[in-house]
Amino acid sequence: MDSGALFYVAVAMDGTGSIHSCNSMIESCKIVGLKCSTHYNIYVIASNFMCNSTKSETVTTETATCPPDTLRASLDCASNEALISWNGVPQMNSFTATIVDQDDSLLSCSSTNTSCKIPDLKCGQRYMVTLSAHDSICTSMPSEPIYIESVPCGPANIQTDVGCESGGLSISWDQASNAEGYTVVISNTSTHMTFNSTEPVLSIDTLGCGKEYAVSVTSFINTCTSFAAETTIREAPCVPTNLITTRTCSQSFVDVMWQESRGAKNYTAAAVDVDGGRLECVSNQTNCRLEGIMCGQVYNISVAAVDGTCTSTGSPSVRLETEPCPPSQLMVSLLCASNSASLTWDSSIGAASYTGKAVSSDAHMVTCEAGLSLGCVLEGLHCGKEYGFTVSTSNGHCQNVESEPVKLTTAPCVVQSMMTSLDCSTNVLTTSWESGAVPVNHSVAAVAADGTATLRCVTENSSCALTGLQCGQQYSVVVKAISSTCEGPDSAPEVVNSVPCVPANVQTTVDCSTNTLQASWDAADGAVSYISTLRGTGDFSSSCPTTDQSCPFAALQCAQEYVFSVTSVNDRCSNSWSSDVMTTTAPCDPTNVAASLDCASGVATVTWTPSAGADAYSAIAETLGHVDSCVSTGVSCELSQLQCGEEYTVTVLAGDAKCNSSVLATTFITTAPCPPTIQDHSVDYALNSALITWAEDDDAQLVTVTASSALGHSQSCNSSSSRSCLLDELQCGNTYDVEAVTHGAQCVSSPSSAFQIITAPCTPPNVDYLYSCETGITLVNWGETLGRESFYLHAEAGDHVTSCSSYKTNCTLSSLLCSRTYDVQVTAVAQHSNSSIPGRVQIQTAPCAPTSVGATLLCDDNTAEVTWEPSVGAMMYNVTATGKDRSVKRCGTNTTSCQLANMNCAEMYNITVTPFTTTCQGEETPPYSYMAGPCPPSNVQVSLKCEDNVGVVTWDAATQADTYEATAVSLDTHVYNCSTSGTGCSLTNLTCGESIDVTVVTVERGCRSEPSQLVTFQSVICPPTGLIGLTTCSNNDITVSWDPSPDSGIQYLIHSQEAGGVVASYFSTQTSHVLSGLLCGEKHSVRVAASDSVCTSVFSETITTDTGW
């Protein structure tokens, strides 16, 4: 509330001066009683009960449109539609007509013209009709209501009844209120009959059998006829015709077929025998099968048609006579020798002939014709097969089914697939064969090749084992089958070799030099080859297959005991192993052989680890032209006659009473080297280094040279690959004593003869100067140094050179040039050499003023980057920028550029650059003019275009602008941009329902200004989401609901359209709406839009919902 105000009065005035008002003690109130379709000017006055304020700023608004007038409604009885019409209203976007029935159910339609239709009215209702108009903002109040009557309701609960015997029809229904009469229409594709009745019932005589009729009943009042109540009725089915029976002899069923009967849903066929026995089958086709037909019977067969209500009378019957029954008491005698069978049986009444038959399990068939005889013989039967024997009769028309089969098996066949296997461990022969279909006994015989023995066994299984076979023999084996009545033939013979005999006279010998064992034995009966095996300690085992009577085993382990055995092998088995033979190999090599040298005495001690099987050891040291050795029964001995500077190979041999070990147990030892022989030396005074050379020694691994000064400094160098090394870090002004030693693998030699070297004088230290910035005169001074006689000073800067000499430790240089860097060198001078490195210092004279000053705008922080050509010798620069508003920006740098940040936007500056060294200030440059970066635009405003959801941004122009860029950011971080060279642009493709912050920047010389003041606006409201439609099956109402809008004060526009119909519109402030007055079986498409005080959203996605059935 404003300071001093106690209450407010809000006033609305129309164009005629008519005033409406409201007052409030808060910042809002509601003005009521305004006229529709009227423009009002609204202002507010504040008051403290003593004085009133002046009028506030005036706001103009327009009230909602006035409701349409001259509303008319008419009924189309045929379609049950209401046609609503009205006079047009200018500037209206659309109209919505609404009708409400006596149950408060609502229907509506929408149109942009002056009429619309509302279909699917409820019957027997009095409807109240109103109309509302819509502009782009508001919906008018409803018009004054008018009333319309709908089409009357039709009959209900229609019932039909058929007299199955008489064929008469009866139709009834519930009484309809206020009905003057009823009309009944009975029709099908060929008949159309109409009946009138004043009562809710109608009876008629029979119609055509099996026909279906459509029944329609309507009521009428005045000129309107109700909707029809419909059903169907069907007459009793017609009697089937053209009955045909089909049966094959001996079948237990008969197939019945007939002509299709009109009106039948299914059929019942029946067969009745002379004793009254009945067989039935039911089918929805024109055929079915009667099961259970018996031989020797006479049947009468007929068929009747059936629907869901009635059964027709039966068709004329058809007579069926079946074949005679089969014979009985079948007897079968099997003749084993000829594989034939004799059949006999009892007679069958009515039989004209008999046929005997035998069928095996593999489908082999044999028959015999007996005529009227009661027996016959079946010949040509297969061996070892089970046959089913039957007999059948014939009466000249049919041959009946066969008698019950008698099953017998013929004489056994020759045994097939005989196989033999020999158990090598027991010399037992097992014979097996393929079993026949019928179990029989089998006899197995094995005859030795020399005829000395025959072995036999009999079994009822499919295998048999023969024992007592002799080793190294060959046998012929046969098998034959034996049934309860006959023996089968022998099988094809198979030759089998028994287990070979064990080798004898096994012997072994060992070759000590190679540790190879040679084994031999005598030939064994029945052996084709031999396998010998040698086994040692642990898991060692080696085998040797051979067809000879000997076998070698090489590379055996030393000092090991081995066990040898051999076995004989034929095509089936290997026999038992021979007796084991034991033998031992030569002693092993010593291990861990090592030799160590005593550098002082030159004696080498050899050590080893004792080996298996050894009695004594010998150590032998060998080199080119010289040998030394020692012997021991322990694990070490000493070699005392070795020569210096040599490499020896040391071998240790282990021996026993028979052999020595191999020469593989070796090691190496190198004796101490001889001292080196110095051949020459040379001194490099520039580098203060000395190159030392010596005589070549092939056995030397490393030579080290050491130089020692009387002043306490020492230095060394070494080499392993050449005959020289360099002493490269000697100190200046020193005299060194030099000597060398040689390094061997274990020892170092004694020193060589010593000699002296003298180094160059030292570099003058601590060179410094005193420089006068005003005169350019410089005094150079330095420290004392070793080995010098005098000093020489040299100063150079580009093309300018100056120098001086002194016996003291200082010297003066006059008139040095500005902006120059002088390199100054001070050298110590002696008779044999000068100092290798001079003492150095650099003198930087005062710098000159910089040139080519320039400034460039950098976008970040409105920065000016100042550049210039460097002043020679300058170490630092100070940059100063002075604006017309007397603001000052400064920066310092040691480069040729500097950045002045945060300059005032669009300000003109004068820029100067001053050079510095560490001791002197240079000349300042002339001023350089520079314009700072752009300022942001002012007076930024945003307006919203509802139609396209576009934000229009405008602003006042900024100084020195190339272009402008507007940026909009929503709370959901959506970003929108537009740019222009003018003072306004549009933000498109906005997301609905967002609060958006807008800023504008100026772009000039490629740089963007700071953002303008933030402006916030709201995009067009979003359409509703989560739209769903639910159907109430009891009344066909559709309830449409959606998620609420996050904004307040929202009104929703609902568009509903039946498939192929017009669009109906509704308004609601709730998040659901009920579409009522709908008929069953309809499909409705629905969509919803949201409106706030500014704009109306686009419609939501359309959903489709069906009413009930």
The Cα diameter of the chain in Å comes to 168
> CA 493, CA 1006: separation in Å to the nearest integer?
112
Answer yes or no: are the C-beta atoms of 20 and 33 closer than 8 Å.
yes
Q: Exposed (0-12), middle (13-18) or buried (19+): which is 1073, by Cβ within 10 Å?
A: buried
Q: What values do phi and psi take at 861, rounded to 5? A: 60, 30
Q: What is the DSSP letter of 660?
A: B
Question: What is the CA angle 788-790-791, rounded to 5?
Answer: 105
Q: Do the two domains 419-497 and 592-670 of this chain adopt the same fold?
A: yes
What pairing do the DSSP bridges indicate for beta strands 702-709 and 950-956?
unpaired
pLDDT under 70 in the chain at which residues?
Answer: 1-3, 90-91, 136, 165, 177-178, 222, 349-350, 399-401, 437-438, 485, 1109
287 forms bridges with which residues in the sheet? 257
What fold, for 419-497?
Immunoglobulin-like (2.60.40)
Q: What is the CATH number of domain 851-867+878-931?
A: 2.60.40.10
Burial annotation 209-230 (CB, 10 A radius, 16+ → b, else e): bbbebebbbbbbbeebbbeebe
Q: DSSP of 361-405, one letter per residue? A: TT--EEEEEEET-SEEEE--PPTT-EEEEEEEEE-SS-B-PPPPP
Domain formed by 241-321, architecture: Sandwich (2.60)
User: What residues contact residue 340 under an 8 Å CB cut-off, 6+ apart?
Assistant: 377, 378, 379, 380, 381
Nearest to 376 by CA among 394, 395, 357: 357
**pLDDT at res. 1012:** 92
pTM to 2 decimal places? 0.32
Of 906, 765, 932, 748, give the one whose Cα is nearest residue 835.
765
Chain mean pLDDT for the chain: 87
Q: Which amino acid is at 145?
A: P
- Residue 679 Cα distances to 63, 714, 1042, angstroms: 124, 21, 109
What letter represents residue 857's amino acid?
A: L
Which tens digits make up the pLDDT trace of 1044-1078? 988 888 898 999 988 878 788 888 889 999 988 88
Q: Which homologous superfamily does the CATH classification assign to the domain defined by 938-1018?
A: Immunoglobulins (2.60.40.10)
Contact by Cβ (8 Å): 82, 121: yes
CA–CA separation, 597 and 642 (whole Å): 10
What gap in Å lies between CA 551 and CA 533, rounded to an integer?
10
Please give the C-alpha separations between residue 135 and each of 37, 97, 116, 138, 1092, in angstroms, as whole numbers.
10, 15, 18, 6, 14
pLDDT of residue 150: 79
* Per-position DSSP letters for 802-823, written without gaps between them: EEEEESSSEEEE--PPTT-EEE
Residue 861 corresponds to which tokens in the numbers above? 């922080």
- What single-letter DSSP state applies at residue 576? -
Which tokens in the block code for residue 457?
């066994």
What is d(CA 1000, CA 933) in angstroms, rounded to the nearest whole number? Answer: 15
Token reading at 871: 């002043």
For 566, phi then psi, to 5°, come to -145, 150
Domain formed by 159-234, architecture: Sandwich (2.60)
- CATH 2.60.40.10 for domain 678-758, yes or no, is yes
Q: Hey, what CATH class is 592-670 in?
A: mainly beta
Q: Tens digit of pLDDT for each residue in 870-880?
A: 998 888 999 99
pLDDT of residue 510: 82
- For residue range 552-576, list pLDDT tens digits in order: 988 888 888 889 999 999 888 877 7
Question: Is residue 602 classed as helix, strand or coil in its secondary structure?
Answer: coil
pLDDT reported for residue 856: 94
CA dist list (Å): 109 to 74, 81, 172, 940, 1061: 14, 11, 39, 45, 10
Pick the CATH number of 768-844 from 3.40.50.1950, 3.40.50.880, 2.60.40.10, 3.50.50.60: 2.60.40.10
Report the alpha-carbon angle 788-792-797, nearest 5: 145
Per-residue pLDDT, 710: 87
Residue 748 burial (10 A CB sphere; 0-12, 13-18, 19+): middle
Give alpha helix (H) positions in 420-577. none
Per CATH, which fold does 7-62 belong to? Answer: Immunoglobulin-like (2.60.40)
**CA–CA gap between residue 127 and residue 120 (Å, rounded):** 13
For residues 119 and 176, what is the distance between their CA atoms, to the nearest angstrom?
Answer: 23
Using CA atoms in the order 810, 815, 821, 824, what is the torsion angle rounded to 10 degrees? -20
Summarize the chain as % helix, strand, coil (round to 5): 0, 50, 50
Q: Report phi then psi at 862, rounded to 5.
A: 50, 60
Rounded Cα–Cα distance for residues 773 and 923 (Å): 12
Rounding to the nearest 10 degrees, give the CA dihedral for residues 181, 186, 192, 195: -30
- The dotted CATH code for 507-584 is 2.60.40.10
CATH says 331-409 is which class?
Answer: mainly beta
How many CA atoms does the CB half-sphere of 789 hold within 13 Å?
Answer: 7
The whole-angstrom separation of Cα 199 and Cα 196 is 9
Distance, in Å, from the CA atom of 200 to the CA atom of 229, rounded to the nearest integer, reads 12
1024 CB burial (10 A radius; 0-12, 13-18, 19+): buried
Closest CA to 176 of 213, 215, 223, 228: 228
Phi/psi for 289 (5° steps) reads -115, 125
Q: Which positions ≥6 away from 180 have C-beta within 8 Å? A: 219, 220, 221, 222
What's the Cα-to-Cα distance from 179 to each of 103, 221, 908, rounded to whole Å?
22, 6, 101
pLDDT of residue 812: 87
Query: Is 1022-1109 in CATH node 3.90.76.10?
Result: no
Structure confidence at residue 3 (pLDDT): 61
Domain residue ranges in the chain: 7-62, 159-234, 241-321, 331-409, 419-497, 507-584, 592-670, 678-758, 768-844, 851-867+878-931, 938-1018, 1022-1109
